[in-house]
C-alpha cells in the first residue's frame, strides 16, 4: 500500500478527535433541552454544558488528597486514548478494554477519597462494570465472527453492514447504553438524590471540569461505537447514532432508577438471550468466518 488516502486515514479522525468534546457538549446540552421540553419546561440553552465547564475552571479548588486527582487525570487520558484508537481504526478488542479501564480509574478515584458517598458510588460503579462489560465483550467477539478480524478496518471492508448480520447484538448494546452514558434507569453510580455524585463527589473546581470534558468524550465514543454498525453509508450511520441518542434521552425520561441487583439480573438476562439468538442466527446462516 503505497498510496494511502491520507484524508480518510488521518485527516477526518483527527478533526473528529478535536471536535469530539464540542460535539459531546452540544449533545449534552440538547439532552437537557429535550428533557426540559418533555417535562413542559423551557430548559437551559443548548450551550449550557460549556457555561458549566468554563465556570468550573474559574472556581477555587478544594482538594482532599492528590491520589484521586491522579486517578481523575488517568480517567480522562484513558477515555481520550480509547477514542483515538477507535477513530484511527485500531484493534476493537483493545479499544474496548481500554475504555473499560477508564471506568476502573473512576472507581479507584472514588475509593481513594475518604467519603462514604465516594465509596458507595465506586462500589456501584464496579457493579455496573460487571454488568455491561461481558455483554460488550461478547458483542466484540460476535463482530470478530462475522468480519474475520478484530481490526476495525475489517468492519469497513466487510461486504455487508454489521446491522444486517448482528441486529440483536445492536439491541444488546442499546440495553447497556444507559449504563455507559450514566442515564436512568441505570444511573445507579451517580444517583445524585441518594449519594451526591458517586465517585465524583469530592471533585471540585477545574478537576470537576476535567471530568465533565471526559464525559463529553465518553458520549462521543459511545455514539461512534454504535455508528460502527452501519459504516457503508454515512447517512445511515448518522441516523443510527441519532436513533441511539434519542432512545437514550427518551428512556432516561420515562424510567425510574433500578436497584443494583435488578439491573444485574435484567441486563444480563435480556442481553445474553439477545446475543445467543444472534449467535445461533450467524452460525445457522453460515455467515461466520473461522480464524
Nearer to another protein (CB atom), residue 50 or residue 245: 50
Give the residue from 61, 67, 18, 21 showing the smallest Cα distance to 214: 21
Give the Cα separation of 29 and 51 in Å (integer).
Answer: 10
Nearer to another protein (CB atom), residue 48 or residue 253: 48
Q: How far is the CB of 50 from another protein (least distance, A)?
A: 7
Give the Cα separation of 150 and 157 in Å (integer).
Answer: 12
Give the Cα separation of 97 and 102 in Å (integer).
Answer: 9
Q: Are 110 and 128 in contact (CB under 8 A)?
A: no
Nearer to another protein (CB atom), residue 172 or residue 252: 252
Residues of 200-213 as b/e, b for ≥16 C-beta within 10 angstroms?
Answer: bbbbbbbbbbbbbb
C-alpha dist (Å) from residue 186 to 84, 214, 221, 244 = 27, 19, 18, 16
Q: Are 102 and 82 in contact (CB under 8 A)?
A: yes
Nearer to another protein (CB atom), residue 124 or residue 144: 124
Nearer to another protein (CB atom), residue 31 or residue 279: 31
Nearer to another protein (CB atom), residue 203 or residue 245: 203
Q: How far is the CB of 25 from another protein (least distance, A)?
A: 12
Question: Rule CB under 8 A: which residues touch another protein?
Answer: 32, 36, 39-45, 48, 50-55, 57-62, 192-193, 196-197, 201-205, 208
List the grid coordinates of 268: 444480563
Amino acid at each position: 500500500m503505497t498510496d494511502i488516502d491520507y484524508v480518510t486515514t488521518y485527516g477526518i479522525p483527527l478533526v473528529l478527535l478535536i471536535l469530539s468534546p464540542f460535539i459531546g457538549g452540544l449533545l449534552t446540552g440538547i439532552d437537557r433541552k429535550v428533557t426540559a421540553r418533555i417535562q413542559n419546561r423551557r430548559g437551559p440553552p443548548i450551550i449550557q454544558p460549556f457555561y458549566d465547564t468554563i465556570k468550573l475552571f474559574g472556581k477555587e479548588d478544594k482538594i482532599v488528597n492528590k491520589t484521586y486527582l491522579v486517578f481523575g487525570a488517568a480517567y480522562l487520558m484513558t477515555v481520550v486514548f480509547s477514542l483515538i484508537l477507535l477513530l484511527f481504526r485500531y484493534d476493537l478488542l483493545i479499544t474496548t478494554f481500554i475504555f473499560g479501564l477508564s471506568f476502573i480509574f473512576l472507581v479507584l478515584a472514588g475509593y481513594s477519597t475518604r467519603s462514604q458517598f465516594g465509596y458507595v458510588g465506586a462500589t456501584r460503579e464496579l457493579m455496573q462494570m460487571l454488568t455491561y462489560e461481558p455483554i460488550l465483550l461478547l458483542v466484540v467477539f460476535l463482530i470478530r465472527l462475522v468480519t474475520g478480524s478484530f481490526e476495525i478496518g475489517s468492519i469497513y471492508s466487510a461486504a455487508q453492514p454489521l446491522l444486517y448480520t448482528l441486529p440483536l447484538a445492536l439491541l444488546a448494546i442499546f440495553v447497556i447504553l444507559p449504563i455507559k452514558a450514566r442515564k436512568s434507569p441505570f444511573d445507579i453510580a451517580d444517583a445524585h438524590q441518594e449519594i451526591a455524585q458517586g465517585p465524583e463527589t469530592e471533585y471540585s473546581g477545574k478537576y470537576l471540569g476535567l471530568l465533565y470534558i471526559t464525559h463529553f468524550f465518553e458520549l462521543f465514543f459511545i455514539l461512534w461505537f454504535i455508528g460502527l454498525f452501519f459504516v457503508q453509508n454515512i447517512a445511515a450511520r448518522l441516523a443510527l447514532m441519532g436513533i441511539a441518542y434519542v432512545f437514550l434521552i427518551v428512556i432516561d425520561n420515562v424510567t425510574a432508577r433500578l436497584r443494583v441487583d435488578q439491573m444485574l439480573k435484567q441486563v444480563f438476562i435480556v442481553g445474553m438471550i439477545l446475543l445467543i439468538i444472534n449467535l445461533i442466527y450467524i452460525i445457522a446462516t453460515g455467515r461466520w468466518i473461522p480464524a
